[in-house]
A and B are shown apart, each in its own frame.
Chain A
Amino acid sequence: MEVQKEAQRIMTLSVWKMYHSRMQRGGLRLHRSLQLSLIMRSARELYLSAKVEALDLEAPSPPARCPDPRLHPPREVEVPAACVPPDGEQPLPEPMDTQEEEETLVRCSPRPARVCRKRRSSSLSDGVDAGLVPSKKARLEEQEEAKDSSSEVPDCLPPPPAQAEGAFPNLARVLQRSFSGLLSRGPAASPTAPPARDAKPACRPADPMLSVLVRAVVAF
């Protein structure tokens, strides 16, 4: 829990730094932005792994702990897909972002959305998840983390370039959409998802801050 809180704190701090670096004279510095995004990614990984451990401790029953093998294959299929530069793979890139020349979506941000859609369909179709404890929300995270951790397995060495979050969506927009919401809520409250993610309310993860922070990388 401590680790989770610390990771969350670092992520919040990183977003602040990113925001403030944009306000400083001389504009955003590419090197600084890259470093902040590296920290955010590490904090996110730490947060997710801590969450997995916490969930493991909370619900030690085997079915909940080990991800459903029926869901594994689709997830694993998705992981290599996610590792490849996503240009051709994002079904619904945000229309605003694609208009800018240098903007590309952070790869991780559409991932939850994709996972969300896929998971939703598979969970509905399988009909097995309804009886599983914990709830869908927690399950979503579990799978997200499991997916992340499985995606990290091949990347235990310095991650391949595709894995790194060097993406630069327009910071102003991202922060406009997400940051004000982030500021207005307390740390433990369950925040409403940013507008882009409102499309799938059922898939909203318990920690939208996670995805928000992942998205708020750099604009250049």
Chain B
Amino acid sequence: MKCFSRYLPYIFRPPNTILSSSCHTEADIISTVEFNHTGELLATGDKGGRVVIFQREQESKNQVHRRGEYNVYSTFQSHEPEFDYLKSLEIEEKINKIRWLPQQNAAYFLLSTNDKTVKLWKVSERDKRPEGYNLKDEEGRLRDPATITTLRVPVLRPMDLMVEATPRRVFANAHTYHINSISVNSDYETYMSADDLRINLWNFEITNQSFNIVDIKPANMEELTEVITAAEFHPHHCNTFVYSSSKGTIRLCDMRASALCDRHTKFFEEPEDPSNRSFFSEIISSISDVKFSHSGRYIMTRDYLTVKVWDLNMENRPIETYQVHDYLRSKLCSLYENDCIFDKFECVWNGSDSVIMTGSYNNFFRMFDRNTKRDVTLEASRENSKPRAILKPRKVCVGGKRRKDEISVDSLDFSKKILHTAWHPSENIIAVAATNNLYIFQDKVN
């Protein structure tokens, strides 16, 4: 096995446990993964509308080898299936996105959204309970006031830790089309939700109104040529956000310019390479994810075959382009037949913005080091993961003689796709969702 520098790839070790549901149904398919701002918590949403939050164990001297493992902290049903009677449509309960709010008190807050409704959840711990009420007994039954002869002050006694999740706000009925993104603003007071044609700005405290800040719906739907595919606020400038389109373009908007940000401040588009033009060019150029770097200087976009890094100061082309799985370019017709061409892959930055990661097929995921220009393909699978082993880099053979340990393009399992990944904000810990399994890999190199 090749040796890599400590910067890439990180030598990820498989976890001691792979978190997955025991029986795999469609509802268990993980649809979103997100670390909170400290990395202490990791939230996953699934197709069944459930949110599962994992918490990192505190490091202890006794169990060094179990440093920082993630265990289930809380599970709750965030969204239920609903029915839109006017349109006779079922609204899926699938969680499209989860976004954490920065922690401001003992409780944790997160936003979760399905196709139509965003909810603000408060996740709090309860490890004490009051005892010694005067008017009710320990089981909660009311006592006859005539039997009370003394007064006592209730006291808080420790109890088993209970984590409860309560919906604090429900932001509903603001989207005609399917919500694809939510993004918390750096002012921590507002957030935006984006659907195919519109982006709305919300205040966390107000659920019955939102401001529409982008509307690309044409007067005549017949003239529709592109939809919004993702949107995100700038990490530091609360007036700036970007949204990507199905045509492979990104628009940066400044909310100070006007109330309705239909006119962009910056427009990022790369001219199409004529040599790459094919029958499916239009649909593979659709951007499935857009992410600001932590620094706020760059944006990263993912389309079907590539990941691109753009400098906010240069609109005419990306500064870096990485081929994720270019060997699929000749297979686009088959991928159209099996619907894989419509898969929406996400992409993530590491904490220092030096490495980017995205998923692929066959449970492969790819990392690209922006500084050394090295890249690696890793696989999230039980079979290849032994405790304390090192994740072996994988290679896809595109043609010619297949070496040992290589896998040929035709052997790739397209049903095993990694669409959602997350990177710890400061450490080299990654969470990779492979269908219904969540893999958490940690870098043990010191």
Contacts and interface: CB of A to CB of B under 8 A. Distances in A.
Interface of A: 10, 13, 17, 25-27, 29-32, 34-35, 38-39, 42-43, 46, 85, 87, 102, 104-107, 161-162, 164-168, 220
Interface of B: 81, 87, 89-92, 94, 115, 177-178, 180, 196-197, 218, 220-227, 229, 246, 279-280, 282-283, 286, 333, 336-337, 339, 342
Interface centre among B81, B177, B178, B229 (most CB of A within 10 A): B178
Nearest to A157: B272
A31 B280 CA distance: 15
A38 B283 CA distance: 8
Interface of B is mostly: loop
A26 B222 contact: no
A26 B279 contact: no
A163 to B, nearest CB: 9
Contacts of A38: 282-283
A106 B222 CA distance: 7
B225 A30 contact: no
Interface centre among A17, A30, A46, A164 (most CB of B within 10 A): A30
B94 to A, nearest CB: 8
Given A27-B87, A30-B177, A164 B224 contact: yes
Contact of A27 (B90, B226, B286): B90
B222 A30 contact: no
Nearest to A45: B279
B222 A25 contact: no
Given A27-B90, A30-B177, A35-B286, A166 B337 contact: no
A104 B221 contact: yes
A35 B342 contact: yes
Contact of B221 (A26, A46, A167): A167
B115 A26 contact: yes
Given A10-B336, A25-B92, A32 B342 contact: yes
Contact of A220 (B221, B279, B280): B221
B221 A166 contact: yes
A35 B337 contact: no
Given A27-B89, A31-B227, A85-B220, A17 B339 contact: yes
Interface centre among A13, A26, A38, A164 (most CB of B within 10 A): A26
